[in-house]
Chain A
Amino acid sequence: MRNILPHCLSAAALLACSTAPLAADLNLSGLAATCNNCHGVGGVSAGSSMASLAGQNRAYLEMVMLQWKTGERFSTTMGRLLAGYSEDEIKALAAYYAEKPWTPAVQELDPKLIRQGGFVLDRCSNCHGKTGGKTKTEDTPRLDGQWVRHIDLELEKYRDGTLALPNQKMADNAHKLKEKEVAAITAFFASQSGDKAETKSK
């Protein structure tokens, strides 16, 4: 009896810890909660023009947010928002969303485009990986199962040519794509379902 009770007590304490909110959790969830408005609960977007953030590469999230904050990278609203957040808060947000499970979007895609995309993605797969899940570097976004409309809009920004976008290699490749290749490639990446074999190891 004597050695059971302390054991149970600690188990109960653990249970309490895992279910009752902690002050630190409330601060972090409160910080991230403002992002959920546009990017979905836990960063799983419900609106196809907005990126899902859950499970995205941490280094990528951190890099683009800092670039938006300083204005080095063009944004519509993100720069104006992030100018109000500290570097530490931005880093905490990147880590918070990167920790969440990657959740491919459920979306309707044209099978013909997906098939065509599989043939012409060499220009993209070097950096983003063959399915868009296993990126060459951590500061490259994964694309497998991202919303197709969001990827389309990102490519449109690069192909526009008038916007400040710091990744020259990406800009060059985006410009080299033929019009009909764009829709095929984005459909292909969007159709991928976060295959584990291709998913980067943590």
Chain B
Amino acid sequence: MSTINRRKFIQTLAAAPLASVLTIPTAAWAAKNKNKAKQVVVVGGGFAGATAAKYLLMLDPSIKVTLIEPLKTYTSCPLSNEVVTHHRTIESLQIGYDGLTKRGVEVVHDTVTEIDPAKKSVKTQGGKTLSYDAAVVAPGIGLDFDAIEGYSEEVSKTIAHAYKGADQTLLLRGQLEAMPDGGVFVIAVPKAPFRCPPGPYERAAQVAYYCLHHGKPKSKVLILDSNDSFAKKALFEQSWEALYPGMIEWVAGSAGGTVERIDGEARTVATAFDEHKADVLNFIPRHDAGSLAKGAGLTNEAGWCEVVPLTMESAVHKGIYVVGDACKGGTPEFPMPKSAHMGMTQAKVAAGAIVASLNGLAPPVPYYANTCYSLAAPDYGFSVVQVYRVEDNQFVYVQEAGGVSPIEAPPIQRRLEAQYADGWFLNVMADAFT
């Protein structure tokens, strides 16, 4: 009898979930019983949100991860300036969410309308309500269409910002293509912080490259800037001078660069000093964290989300981790830039912190780093690097590290960095989405 009983007991152990018999929850068991598993909802499927979803599951397969993203195809903003100038196709920047689904992320194509930090739930346009143990909020940027007289979401359908979404990139590309030789391409840059800090200046170089090689060599690029300096300024100015002498003019904010109003139909922009007529007008509106983050009370008075540096948890609401461009950063006083690379390392820190928290562990050591390449021409690249540590609950820029590519560099360096920009792009796409 005792032998049979013993065998029966062993069989029971083997057949039933081991942990439920012994009341020790294991990840393997929980993975099969996701109803009882911890739930993490990720809002937004850009570089940061997708990375968070993937790394959460990689670190702890027992968590039920749901990613909510309206679009079925993601289009990268990094390297989109090369689409404007036909060096790259829009398709080469696009990827779907199958890779995340295969990893076990539940991908829901819907729009989050409300985040309720008290009830720990999110609501969607499609009528879903999802509760969470932890939420990752990665909404990217909101564009303030109404900040300047003459611009609106409606006007943006003809006066492209090309700072968000494939349609905008393609709209600007079409306008550049149609621009006559000798035309003026105006780029209006908003007050910092904005996503991709070197983006407008890289765009200027790319547009000049296009004009030079597509029968428009007499054209000019005029950058009207609301700021008095910009990312990688010395490197950009060196590249403009070397590659496109006389084609690119930059006007600082204090020298009359700040655009005060635009006329979309006449394609004119007015500053405090002048009025400029553009053949192509690329107006980039001011950014903030967007209405969803604001509605959830996650933003500060400047419209950006402040976080706890150790974990990326919101400084306002416990259990919500904000990652990517919606986070505070990108100003001279607080330099953590709004880049895909930065957002991905933030997402990885958040994923580690959430997994630790859900498993009753202390948050891991956070590692933040940024690498951002700019391409002044297909074979001419340079970069900026930042490394951050957390000390006394503050982000600290590591002074010994980081910085921009040297101005005095052997010619091979610019070529190498252009090659590495491409490798970087392929790897971030794979790291975030597959």
Which residues of chain A have a CB within 8 Å of any CB of chain B? 1, 4, 8-9, 11-13, 15-16, 19-23, 26-27, 29-31, 33-34, 36-41, 45-50, 76-77, 80-85, 149-150, 153, 156-157, 160, 162-163
Q: Which of these, A23, A31, A77, A82, contacts B361 with CB under 8 Å?
A: A23
Q: Which B residues lie within 8 Å of A45 (CB)?
A: 423, 427
Knowing that A29-B59, A76-B383 touch, tell me 7 more A-B residue pairs with CB under 8 angstroms: A16-B26, A21-B59, A23-B356, A76-B417, A77-B383, A84-B369, A157-B416
Q: List 13 A-B contacts (CB under 8 A).
A: A16-B24, A16-B25, A20-B27, A21-B361, A23-B361, A38-B424, A38-B428, A41-B431, A45-B427, A46-B429, A49-B419, A149-B419, A160-B412
Docked Cα-Cα span, A89 to B364, in Å, equals 14
Docked Cα-Cα span, A60 to B28, in Å, equals 37
Q: Judging by beta carbons under 8 Å apart, are B26 and A12 in contact?
A: yes
Q: Which A residues lie within 8 Å of B425 (CB)?
A: 47
Q: Which A residues lie within 8 Å of B412 (CB)?
A: 156-157, 160, 162-163
Q: Which B residues lie within 8 Å of A149 (CB)?
A: 419, 423
Docked Cα-Cα span, A16 to B25, in Å, equals 8
Q: Which B residues lie within 8 Å of A46 (CB)?
A: 426-427, 429-431, 434
Which residues of chain B have a CB within 8 Å of any CB of chain A? 2, 5-6, 9-10, 13, 18-19, 22, 24-28, 55, 58-62, 341, 344-345, 348-349, 352, 355-356, 359, 361-362, 364-369, 371, 383, 385, 387, 389, 398, 400-403, 405, 410, 412-413, 416-417, 419-420, 422-431, 434
Q: Judging by beta carbons under 8 Å apart, are B55 and A1 in contact?
A: no
Q: Which B residues lie within 8 Å of A29 (CB)?
A: 59, 352
Q: Which A residues lie within 8 Å of B422 (CB)?
A: 47, 49
- Looking at A13, A38, A80, which has the most chain B CB atoms within 10 Å of its CB? A80
Q: Judging by beta carbons under 8 Å apart, are B424 and A47 in contact?
A: yes
- What is the interface of chain A mostly: helix, strand, loop, or mixed? helix
Q: Which B residues lie within 8 Å of A36 (CB)?
A: 348, 427, 431
With A4-B6, A12-B24 in contact, is A49–B420 under 8 Å at CB? yes
| Nearest A residue (CB) for B388 | A84
With A23-B361, A37-B428 in contact, is A80–B402 under 8 Å at CB? yes
Q: Judging by beta carbons under 8 Å apart, are B13 and A8 in contact?
A: yes
Q: Which B residues lie within 8 Å of A82 (CB)?
A: 401
With A49-B423, A50-B420, A76-B383 in contact, is A41–B361 under 8 Å at CB? no
Q: Which of these, A26, A39, A80, A83, contacts B59 with CB under 8 Å?
A: A26
With A8-B22, A21-B355 in contact, is A33–B345 under 8 Å at CB? yes
Q: Which of these, A4, A16, A80, contacts B385 with CB under 8 Å?
A: A80
Docked Cα-Cα span, A159 to B371, in Å, equals 26
| Nearest B residue (CB) for A46 | B430
Docked Cα-Cα span, A157 to B419, in Å, equals 13
Q: Which A residues lie within 8 Å of B368 (CB)?
A: 34
Docked Cα-Cα span, A82 to B387, in Å, equals 9
Q: Which A residues lie within 8 Å of B398 (CB)?
A: 83-84
Docked Cα-Cα span, A100 to B207, in Å, equals 43
Q: Judging by beta carbons under 8 Å apart, are B367 and A34 in contact?
A: yes
* B20 shortest CB reach to chain A, Å: 11
